[in-house]
Amino acid sequence: MQWLARLCVQRPVLASVLMLVILVLGTVGYRGLGVDQFPNVDIPVVVVTTQLPGAAPEEIETDVTDKIEGAVNQISGVDDLNSVSSEGVSQVVIMFKLDKDTDVAAQEVRDKVNTVLRELPSGIEQPIITKVEPSAAPVLYLGVRGKGQSLRDISEVAANGADLRAYVVGKDSVGVWRWLPTAVAVDPEKELLPGLFAVGLAALGFCTAAADPGRRRWAVLYGAIATVALVLSLGPHVRVWGTVVTTHGPYAWLLAIVPGMDGMRVPARFAIIVVAGLSVLVAFGVDWLLRRAAPSFRPLLAAACVAMVIADGWAVPITTVGYSARGRAEDRSVAFWLKDRAAGAALHLPIHPSGEQLLDYQFMTLVHGHPIVNGFSGYVTTLVDLLGSPLSPLSDFERFPAAVRMLRSLGVRYVFVHPEDYDGASIAAGIPDRTIRALRDSGQIAKEAGLPRVTAFELAPWEPPPGADAPLTLIPPGELTASASESADRIPNLFDRDRDTRWIAGIGGQDGSSWLRVALTHPAEIARVELQIAERSMGDYPRLLRIEGEDAAGRSHLLYEASPYPEFAAALIRDARYPTLIIPIPHNRDTVALWIRQTVPSSASWSVHELRVWRYDASGGNR
């Protein structure tokens, strides 16, 4: 290219002309370049949407999603399969290889789904099968509002408006006004009386501040805020002592011009702003009184104002639901048996009783002082949710000793079985008796007591297994090659670092033959194996896990075989959304492959979202 550089230096005019020609040709070519915001690309993606109203996400996952996945996974050309199971809705997204005709793919999906319709729960709606077409993406969004139309019916908004009486008449259980003949029991949403003392002080504050040039604008501002909020709280139909005065309140035009106004449900809640405005005016009133009182009387006057405000809202005694201080007889016997025993958590079975017995269990903690696993709370933990589900380890009677070990590893020391607290179906199936027998046969009971209507068990103390203190190194995914008994197309999900994608086996139920084989690029001494699942596949944990190591000669040696329920419980404690089972591996040498098997039948699938293998650090890996 030296000749071109020499030519351009010797003939600068020619070089300038060449650059100009290139620029012109580039501009013409760019303007003629074909560009399409929505090119006609046929991406073979099919979505199956199925609705089962009222079903929990776990039921959707097990009874609907897994069965549909199992059916469509047999279609040739499937490149990726993902699903979302939410309350009442299952959505399975099937992505095919690009050479697959979308219409053919959709028909094959429809045929496969039809084959499992009879296996789906009764009451399910017909699955909707749609093709994803990029050209169908919207190119313009329009917001449309019809006159007189709102997101909520006007009658619903009007029903939740306040009555003017609510601002001046007290509730019959609140304040000094409960003895007045006008006091009424009102809707809790409309207990709006700020207190007559407070209203009086606010009126005084407004009048005195309005007469003060320095405070006049603030009095007018907060008085206007309180007045506007009061009018808005009355709703579309203004009521005074139950009589509709007008149906032409400000809502007629507010709903038409204010965005989002039509999404409001309870106008009476504007009373919060009324109280805020009155609070400022009350401060003005109190300040005016204190400034005019003699210094020696100011503390007494301030105390009197505080006493009046307290009297306005005095609600003692508070009406509560009656509950016996002694509780149920069987719960008292449990509490007296437990209160002098060694520290440890207690578990009451059933996890989710048929009535309000959870409150009875919790109430007696005041007597025995032990924490309980399944106490009444506004929040249901993932652990309690799992223990009370049909897929709970406590429902696995064939491997119940492992379930008891799991309880002991969690710190549970006492288990109480209440046969009469189970629902009718469980009693008919003999679940209480089977649970009692399984606990007795677990070999982990330190003491048993027959209490009135309750069987009590004290579990043997838990002794944590010794942990390895040698340094460990994570084997990079690039040095692992996996194969599987099924769902080979999902194997990459094991190492993609996406905690929501998964490899799944035994869709719709396992027969105990599922396996994963992980080959290592270099022989290593394996220290532990980590199997991560997710909240959406919480029931797909292994019931009996067997891990074998394979050496270079092809010989296999057993490294682990157990129901990993204690490891599962520890995983839930560490991370309830994405629990990771950490399986420690005993001493081994020159392992070139691992066989990971789920070896017993189960009605649930077996899912692994992420797989990690650790080895002992070669620099200091000797135990």
Does residue 75 contact residue 108 with C-beta atoms inside 8 Å? Answer: yes
pTM: 0.55
Among 37-41, 221-225, 258-262, name the one with the lowest average pLDDT.
37-41
C-alpha to C-alpha distance for 134 and 41, rounded to whole angstroms: 7
pLDDT at 81 (0 to 100): 86
pLDDT at 149 (0 to 100): 47
Does residue 48 contact residue 40 with C-beta atoms inside 8 Å? Answer: no
pLDDT at 618 (0 to 100): 64
Mean pLDDT rounded to a whole number for the chain: 83
pLDDT at 177 (0 to 100): 63
- Architecture label for domain 472-616: Sandwich (2.60)
Using the predicted structure, report yes or no on whether residue 623 has a pLDDT greater than 50. Answer: no
C-alpha to C-alpha distance for 416 and 400, rounded to whole angstroms: 16
C-alpha to C-alpha distance for 145 and 256, rounded to whole angstroms: 9
Q: Pick 69 or 258 by higher pLDDT.
A: 69
pLDDT tens for each residue of 11-28: 777 777 778 878 878 887
Among 35-49, 76-90, 359-373, 477-491, name the one with the lowest average pLDDT.
35-49
pLDDT at 619 (0 to 100): 55
pLDDT at 146 (0 to 100): 55
Does residue 529 contact residue 561 with C-beta atoms inside 8 Å? Answer: no
Domain ranges within the chain, ordered by starting residue: 2-27, 45-133, 154-313, 329-459, 472-616
Strand 412-417 vs strand 454-459: parallel, antiparallel, or unpaired? antiparallel
pLDDT at 76 (0 to 100): 84
C-alpha to C-alpha distance for 1 and 304, rounded to whole angstroms: 100
pLDDT at 593 (0 to 100): 96
Does residue 331 contact residue 416 with C-beta atoms inside 8 Å? Answer: no
Using the predicted structure, report yes or no on whether residue 405 has a pLDDT greater than 60. Answer: yes
pLDDT at 78 (0 to 100): 86
In this prediction, residues 500-522 reach a mean pLDDT of: 90
pLDDT tens for each residue of 330-382: 999 999 999 989 999 999 999 888 667 888 888 899 899 999 988 766 667 88
Q: Which residues contact 246 (CB under 8 A, 6 or more apart)?
A: 237, 238
In this prediction, residues 306-323 reach a mean pLDDT of: 74
Fold designation for 45-133? Alpha-Beta Plaits (3.30.70)
Residue pointed to by tokens 């009879």: 118
Using the predicted structure, report yes or no on whether residue 415 has a pLDDT greater than 90. Answer: yes
pLDDT at 184 (0 to 100): 56
Among 215-224, 240-249, 342-351, 421-430, name the one with the lowest average pLDDT.
240-249
pLDDT tens for each residue of 566-606: 999 999 999 988 999 999 999 888 899 999 999 999 888 99
- Dihedral sign, Cα of residue 218, residue 220, residue 225, residue 229: positive
pLDDT tens for each residue of 543-573: 999 999 999 988 999 999 999 999 999 999 9
Does residue 583 contact residue 530 with C-beta atoms inside 8 Å? Answer: yes
C-alpha to C-alpha distance for 496 and 502, rounded to whole angstroms: 9
